[in-house]
């Protein structure tokens, strides 16, 4: 499976996470967690990163990370490598600590974006969702030590210089500079834990688990257009990313070639030649699933996609033959 592209650009914000190899703990003990945070502090000093939220679970971590410079890949390589070496030395272990590559999803984090808020709160509520701390449980959420949340609600003696609390509080509609902001934030998360979750948060959770970005359609389009500028991450044509990001990029190119808008294409019936041609392009040129294509193009059942692919492959008429040629050029 080709690797997904790392989107790097100045001021990027990411949800970064990684799990332990074979589900193993990546901390073992509290001294391992302290080692992780000390290594995180070092990489922030080296790279200029800012962390807006974090949580350390038993076999994985979550970071809401901002990179003022376009240095995600370099920083993460050093961070996870250094921590692995130090962990192995501390606990007399050998071999891989993390399970494959880390996951880093770009987040739409503009001034008017609500996605930044949603991801920060999602991170802070991880112990609650795991049944470890929070409303209705024996342990209040602020007593879960290995999270940035205690720092947000003034339960720590010293707030790390690399932890920025202001932006998330402001994104929640609170005054990040005011002394009472932390009390309002605690009330804010208590409300979230009460079961009054907004549908927006459910959508963000789905993007975090299965998507390649967190944001709206305009942000997705903006990221897709940046893909050609990141060919240095691909190491040649054989390493091109045939994932959802590539599918979105090809979709944008096809819309230009066809001279139709995305809403117009999606609104077409599944047997329209233009819609069939785009479906054929995505299936031919990427590794996204047929279910993903049918859902993305609003084609209804998987059978409609199969008919579309057959119509283009067999070039059942001159119109589809011409469209097939145009789509082939899109993929070139």
Would you call 178 helix, strand, or coil by DSSP? coil
pLDDT for res 135: 87
| Its pTM surpasses 0.85 | no
Overall average pLDDT of the 227-242 stretch = 42
User: Quick one: which H or E segment has residue 52?
Assistant: strand 50-56
Is pLDDT at 292 greater than 80 in this prediction? yes
Cα–Cα distance measured from residue 112 to residue 131, given in angstroms and rounded to the nearest whole number: 32
- Mean per-residue pLDDT for 302-330? 90
pLDDT in tens, 104-136: 999 999 876 789 999 999 999 999 999 999 988
Contact 136, 45 (CB under 8 A): no
pLDDT tens, 148-188?
Answer: 999 999 888 899 999 999 999 999 888 877 667 778 899 98
Query: Which strands make up the sheet holding 103-106, listed edge to edge?
Result: 50-56, 60-67, 12-19, 103-106
225 vs 23: CA distance, rounded Å: 36
> Which residues, in sequence order, are CB contacts of 113 under 8 Å at separation 6+?
171, 215, 219
In this predicted structure, the answer to whether residue 14 has a pLDDT above a threshold of 90 is yes
| Rounded distance between C-alpha atoms, residue 242 and residue 245, angstroms | 8
Integer Cα distance of 84 and 76 in angstroms: 12
How far from 199 is each of 196, 296, 311, 314, CA to CA, in Å?
Answer: 10, 20, 39, 43
DSSP state of 161: T
CB 140 within 8 A of CB 134: yes
User: How does pLDDT run across 246-283, given as a tens digit for each residue?
Assistant: 788 889 899 999 999 999 999 999 999 999 999 999 98
Mean pLDDT of 137-155: 93
Query: What integer pLDDT is reported at residue 36 of this predicted model?
Result: 98
Whether the pLDDT of residue 232 is over 50: the answer is: no
- Give residue 87's pLDDT: 96
Q: What is the pLDDT of residues 154-163, one digit of tens each?
A: 888 899 999 9
Share of the chain above pLDDT 90, in %: 58
- pLDDT for position 242: 44
- The pLDDT, as a whole number, for residue 197 is 56
Q: Tell me which H or E stretch contains 56.
A: strand 50-56
- 59 or 205: which leads in pLDDT: 59
Which stretch of 13-17, 29-33, 328-332 has the lowest confidence by average pLDDT? 328-332
């Amino acid at each position: 499976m080709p690797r997904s592209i790392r989107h790097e650009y100045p001021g990027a914000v990411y949800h970064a996470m990684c799990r332990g190899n074979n589900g193993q703990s990546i901390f073992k003990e509290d001294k391992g967690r302290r080692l992780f945070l000390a290594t995180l502090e070092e990489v922030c000093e080296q790279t200029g990163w800012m962390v807006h939220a974090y949580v350390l679970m038993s076999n994985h971590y979550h970071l809401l990370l901002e990179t003022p410079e376009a240095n995600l890949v370099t920083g993460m390589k050093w961070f996870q490598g250094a921590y692995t070496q130090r962990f192995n030395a501390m606990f007399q272990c050998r071999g891989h600590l993390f399970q494959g590559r880390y996951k880093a999803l770009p987040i739409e984090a503009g001034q008017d974006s609500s996605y930044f808020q949603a991801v920060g709160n999602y991170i802070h509520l991880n112990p609650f969702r795991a049944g470890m701390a929070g409303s209705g449980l024996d342990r209040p959420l602020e007593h879960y030590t290995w999270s940035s949340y205690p720092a947000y609600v003034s339960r720590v003696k010293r707030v790390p210089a690399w932890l920025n609390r202001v932006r998330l509080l402001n994104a929640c509609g609170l005054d990040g500079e005011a002394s009472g902001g932390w009390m309002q934030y605690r009330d804010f998360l208590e409300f979230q834990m009460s079961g009054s979750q907004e549908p927006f948060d459910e959508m963000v959770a789905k993007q975090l688990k299965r998507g390649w970005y967190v944001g709206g359609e305009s942000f997705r389009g903006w990221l897709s257009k940046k893909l050609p500028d990141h060919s240095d991450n691909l190491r040649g044509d054989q390493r091109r990313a045939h994932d959802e990001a590539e599918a979105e990029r090809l979709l944008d190119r096809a819309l230009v070639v066809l001279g139709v808008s995305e809403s117009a294409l999606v609104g077409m019936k599944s047997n329209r030649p233009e819609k069939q041609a785009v479906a054929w392009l995505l299936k031919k040129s990427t590794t996204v699933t047929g279910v993903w294509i049918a859902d993305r193009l609003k084609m209804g059942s998987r059978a409609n996609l199969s008919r579309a692919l057959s119509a283009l492959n067999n070039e059942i008429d001159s119109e589809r033959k011409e469209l097939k040629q145009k789509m082939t050029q899109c993929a070139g």
